[in-house]
Amino acid sequence: MEKKVFVSGCYDMLHSGHVAFFEEAAKLGDLYVGIGSDATVNSLKGRRTINTEKERLYMINALKSVKQAFVNKGSGLLDFEDDLRELMPDIFFVNEDGHSPAKESLCKELGIEYVVSKRIPHNNLPVRSTTALRKECNIPYRIDLAGGWLDQPYVSKYYPGSVITISIEPDYEFNDRSGMSTSTRKKAIELWQTDIPTGDKEKQARTLFCYENPPGTTQVSGSQDSLGIVMPGLNKYDYNDNYWPHNIHSVLDNNILNWIEKHLNIVSLVPRNNTYNPLEGTDISREKAKMLAVAADDCWRALLNKDITAFGKAFRESFEAQIAMFPNMVDDLVMKSIEEYKNEALGWKLSGAGGGGYLIFVSDKPIKDAFKIRIRRS
C-alpha cells in the first residue's frame, strides 16, 4: 500500500516550480494537495487570487502526479489542520520557504513525518516561484537588523539611537502582518507599480513615508519602513525624537553585503493576528532605550568589520532590549521556536514589531529548514 503524502499551499499562477514540487513529493507516495481558499489567500497575502479556488482545484487535479486535490476547510496559515487530521497522511511535504515551526509541531503531535524539499527545478528548467512571476513584486521588502522602535519619537525621545536595515529582493512573497514592511510596500506599489524609480533615494523614501502617513494620521508608521524599502544595501538611520533621521549612513560594499547574506537565515512563523497590539504592556525608559541604541551601534560596527561573533551578540542584545520595552512582541510559541533553534545560532530576533512573522538568525553555519535572502544592490 502506497504511503499518503500531503502538501498544502496557494498555487496561484500555476508554474513549472509547482509541478516539479508535486513530482518530487509524489515520489514518496500518493499525493494529496490542499489548496488555500480565496478567502485565506486574501487574508494572508492581502490580495485577490489570479485564479479562483475552483480554477486552481481543476488545474491541480489534472496533473498526473496528484492523487487528489481539495480546498482546505480552515483559514490562516494552518488552514489545512482539519484536513490533515482527517486525512492523516504518512508524510507532510513542504518546501524551504513554506516551512514553519507551527507546521512541524503539528506533525509531531499527529505522528506525521515532516519532510522539507530543497526546491529542485525539473531538469534544466529555471527555478520558478509565483513571487518572481508577479511584476509588482520587483519592489523590495526590508529587514530591520537592530534598533527597531528608535524610529518612533516616543522611544528616541528617551535616548537617541539608530535603526539598521537591509533592502531585500522579493524572491519570496512574504506574508502580511509579519514584520517585513508589507503594508508600506503596498503603498510603494500604488505609487510606482513595478519597481523603485531611479533618482534621489532619500527623497523617494520621504515621498513614500508621506504617502503612507497623510496629514491627520494618528498612528504614524516608523520611517525605517519607507527608508528600508527604498534605500538599497545596508543602511543606518540616526534618530533623536523625530520621525525622520538626521543622518543616513549607506553601505553598498559587495564584500559586506555578501557576508550578511551568508550569515542570515530566515524561518517562517505564523503571521500575527489582527488583534495583536505590540504596544500592550509597554515599559519604555531612558535605560532601556539606551540599551537598544548601544546594541544597534555595536551591531553596525560588527557588520562593517564582518565580525560574526560580535554581530550575533549585538543582534541578540538589540532584540532583548526591544522585548524589555515591548514585552508583547513575544509569546510562548515564539519563545518555543527560539529555543528550538538557538543552539544553532549566534543571535536571533523577530522580524519587525513581533507577534509572529519570521525568526531571523545569525549563524556561521546553515540553520535547519531556514531560507536565505538577497540584498538589493541598486
pLDDT digits (tens, 9 = 90+) for 281-308: 999 999 999 999 999 999 999 999 999 9
Q: Phi, psi at residue 265, to the nearest 5°?
A: -135, 135
**Nearest-CA neighbor of 226 among 137, 148, 141, 350?**
141
Query: Is residue 368 a part of any domain in this protein?
Result: no
Clarify whether residues 120 and 183 are in a common domain.
no
Q: Which of the listed residues 133, 159, 190 is the one where a domain comes to its end? A: 133
Q: Tell me what pLDDT residue 122 has.
A: 66
Clarify whether residues 31 and 164 are in a common domain.
no
Query: Is residue 376 a part of any domain in this protein?
Result: no
Query: Is residue 294 a part of any domain in this protein?
Result: yes
Query: Is residue 161 a part of any domain in this protein?
Result: yes
Clarify whether residues 153 and 90 are in a common domain.
no
> How far apart (Å, rounded) are the C-alpha atoms in residues 47 and 177?
13
> How far apart (Å, rounded) are the C-alpha atoms in residues 203 and 223?
12
Whole-number Cα distances in Å, 139 to 6, 58, 150, 354: 33, 32, 25, 23
CATH number at residue 9: 3.40.50.620
370: left (phi over 0), alpha (psi -120 to 50) or beta: beta
Summarised one tens digit per residue, pLDDT across range 328-347 is 999 888 898 899 898 999 99
* Cell numbers representing residue 232 in the block: 538599497
Clarify whether residues 17 and 162 are in a common domain.
no
52: amino acid identity, one letter: T
Clarify whether residues 207 and 316 are in a common domain.
yes
Sequence-separated (6 or more) residues with CB below 8 Å from residue 48: 38, 41, 42
103 exposure class (CB count in 10 Å sphere: 0-12, 13-18, 19+): buried
254: left (phi over 0), alpha (psi -120 to 50) or beta: alpha
Q: Tell me what pLDDT residue 70 has.
A: 97
Residues in the chain: 378
223 exposure class (CB count in 10 Å sphere: 0-12, 13-18, 19+): buried
Query: Is residue 371 a part of any domain in this protein?
Result: no
Clarify whether residues 73 and 184 are in a common domain.
no
Clarify whether residues 177 and 97 are in a common domain.
no
Q: For the chain, what percent of residues have pLDDT higher than 90?
A: 66
Structurally, how many domains does the chain consist of?
2
Clarify whether residues 107 and 221 are in a common domain.
no
Question: pTM score, two decimals?
Answer: 0.71
Q: Tell me what pLDDT residue 134 has.
A: 53
Clarify whether residues 126 and 157 are in a common domain.
no
Q: Which of the listed residues 100, 133, 166 is the one where a domain comes to its end? A: 133
Q: Tell me what pLDDT residue 194 has.
A: 85
Whole-number Cα distances in Å, 355 to 156, 177, 262, 306, 318: 22, 9, 26, 30, 16
What stretches in the chain show pLDDT beneath 70?
45-47, 119-137, 272-273
Q: Which residue has the cell 502538501?
A: 7
Clarify whether residues 196 and 314 are in a common domain.
yes
Element housing 235 (H / E):
strand 234-239
Q: Tell me what pLDDT residue 357 has.
A: 84
Clarify whether residues 174 and 224 are in a common domain.
yes
Query: Is residue 372 a part of any domain in this protein?
Result: no
> How far apart (Å, rounded) are the C-alpha atoms in residues 40 and 73?
10
**Nearest-CA neighbor of 170 among 117, 222, 97, 253?**
97
CATH number at residue 232: 3.30.230.120
Domain that holds residue 82: 4-133
Clarify whether residues 116 and 218 are in a common domain.
no
Query: Is residue 286 a part of any domain in this protein?
Result: yes
Q: Tell me what pLDDT residue 127 has.
A: 62
Query: Is residue 73 a part of any domain in this protein?
Result: yes
